[in-house]
Copies of this chain bind each other. A is one copy, B any other.
Amino acid sequence: MATHKVKLLPTEKEIEVPTGTLISEAIQNANLEFAQPCGGQGRCGRCAVILEGTGARRRSTIRLSADDIEAGYALACQAVIEGDVQVTIPEQEQVARRLVTDKSAKKVEIPFPYDPESMQTVRSFQITLDVPTLDDNRDDVSRLETKLSTLGYPSIDIPLPSLRKLGNVLRESNWSPWIILETDQQDAQNARLIDLKPEPIKPLGLAIDIGTTTVTTYLVDLESGEVIANAAEYNNQISHGEDVISRIIFAKKGEGLDILGDRVRATIDTLIERIHRRTGTLAEDIHKVTISGNTTMIHLFMKIPPESIRLTPYIPIVNHPVQYLASDLELNVHPLASVDCLPGVASYVGADITAGVLACGMTETEELTLFIDVGTNGETVLGTQDWMVTCACSAGPAFEGAGVVDGMRATLGAIEEVWVHSQTFEPSYRVIGEVAPKGICGSGLISLLAELFVTGVIDRSGNVKLDLDTPRVRQGSHGPEYVIAWGEETDSGKDIVITKVDVENLMRAKAAIYAGFTVLASSVGLDLSEVQRVLVGGSFGQYINVEKAIQIGLLPDLPWDRFNFLGNTSVLGAYMALLSKSAREQVRDIAQKMTYIELSADNEFFNAFTAALFLPHTEINRFPSVVEVWDKQS
């Protein structure tokens, strides 16, 4: 049998192997450490290497995009050596998942060609006034107003703090101060004097996404449009409840609302302080703030009692707050900065979704698009540039790790991806921070559920097959369960398991979300298979493995290239609205255009939910790709 030279980079090792050897085998033959989390089944995609030369043939391109292949990538477990080849082994991920926007995060691109003159409401420039005399003894305000009128601002609102410093600054600057104005969103002739100084003023803005779990901020140069710095941090409110419902309940007790409102401010303060250390920008240099977040987070930030959100008929106090001043909101930026909370649609479809719809671009295409924020509430939008329907389904917090015995948030020690061997039923897993595992987070649970289903550890109803020949399945104190990690491997020394009850909770969660899609599509007389793009927002979304999510029936079974994982679309939408008046108008239009469908009052939803309580679904023909894999395994 012919042998072929395989050169392995970066080690420069060379070995010879016979035709038909897998690259993964060649690497192992060379005694190099090389992880294959799924056991070489071509499912995890973690063994990708870069090929040079034509000596290897890809048996499967699962997990590889056209771009990847173009760049030479192949899965080591799926590539057969048929000639000489040079293989570069990328440094395998040092995965210590960080909050996406942390210090090391990559630069945020300006989302559209930015023209501050036509787009921005906040601007700074120098003006020169006539010097007063006995013959021209107009008061300072009239003098300023006259000048600004000639510059195209016939109506100026001078807030008290600006009025109080006006006289001194005019004189210190020799009647040539720098001013910073905010024009009205609708009417650029109405302007508000945010500040004035004898020296230049740089206009800066802050986009904030107040997530239930994470608060994300972008500091933006309003002249160039660039993100100067970004930072993210867990929402300090978490200690008073992990999900919105428990926060709403906490807000009702005593000073609860004030405490929660102050906690999110403290989180924002921390982020601004972190940005300050990196850039020197002070809180009072921030002249404009745009905020997105779900309806409860916006209510809590504004210290508006959110109680009615959780009680039938689920009424928010306000969907579209007007702009208030930072000083009124006690937000520690420039006291006269406007704070613009983006509009929501309903109690459970908030500004994070309208901002996400703006950011994902679905309003600019005729393609039928499904936008999903997978999370506790499974907010979903279906539509095109012309129409949109939306709903939120109470998926519950299972995907956030709650209601699952060993569930946890996606922090250090969380198992975030799992592969199960189809013959041995032995799992491999990846842990955030590469430490001993403490539990399983949302993406890990999706991955685990799919693997257990595909490998036949559980059946379509979620029952654990106790008769399998492996110690991993057993009757536990909570009923049947599967052991992902033995006590000797774990942080606590106890086994990490998934129980039948956990599986049922997860299935209810995925069924609720999928049922939401079904009801939306049916409400407009369409079928989910007609969806041309699926856009997944939310920082949780970007860690979801699309294949696994389809396998459990969480996402509809569409070609993978129709899926896009967009990360935090909420902060991106806030950033766009911060930059551009017309983007801001678009968010308003999006909120107004969306038809909200209240699922709790909808019998069709209940039917769709029940139908989705199987793996992947009662109507198995909805998931042809899953049938194919499942058939192969079983």
Measured CB to CB, the residues of A under 8 A from B are: 132-142, 157-160, 163-164, 166-168, 171, 302-305, 307-308, 312-322, 324, 328-329, 346-347, 596, 598, 600-601
Contact = CB atoms under 8 A, between A and B. Distances in A.
Nearest to A314: B137
Contacts of A303: 164
Nearest to A324: B160
Contacts of A142: 319
Contacts of A315: 132, 137-140
B171 A308 contact: yes
Contacts of A317: 139-141, 163, 166-167
A169 to B, nearest CB: 11
A322 B158 contact: yes
A163 B321 contact: yes
Main secondary structure of the interface of A (DSSP, over half): loop
B157 A322 contact: yes
B318 A140 contact: yes
Contacts of A305: 164, 167-168
A132 B347 CA distance: 13
Contacts of A600: 134
A436 B317 CA distance: 67
A134 B166 CA distance: 52
Given A322-B158, A346-B137, A313 B132 contact: yes
A404 B135 CA distance: 34
Contact of A160 (B136, B302, B601): B302
Nearest to A171: B308
Contacts of A347: 137
**A-B pairs, 5 with minimum CB distance:** A167-B317, A141-B318, A139-B319, A134-B313, A134-B601
19 contacts: A132-B313, A134-B601, A135-B601, A137-B313, A137-B314, A137-B598, A139-B319, A140-B315, A141-B317, A141-B318, A157-B322, A158-B322, A160-B329, A163-B302, A163-B321, A164-B303, A164-B304, A167-B304, A168-B305
Among A314, A315, A328, max chain B CB count under 10 A is at A315
Nearest to A311: B171
A588 to B, nearest CB: 13
Contacts of A134: 312-314, 598, 600-601
Given A135-B601, A160-B329, A166-B318, 10 more contacts: A134-B312, A134-B598, A136-B313, A137-B315, A137-B346, A137-B598, A139-B318, A141-B319, A163-B302, A164-B303
Among A135, A164, A314, A321, max chain B CB count under 10 A is at A164
Nearest to A318: B141
Contacts of A322: 157-158
A163 B346 contact: no
Nearest to A598: B134
A313 B133 contact: yes
Nearest to A140: B317
Nearest to A142: B319
Contacts of A312: 134
A239 to B, nearest CB: 23
A134 to B, nearest CB: 4
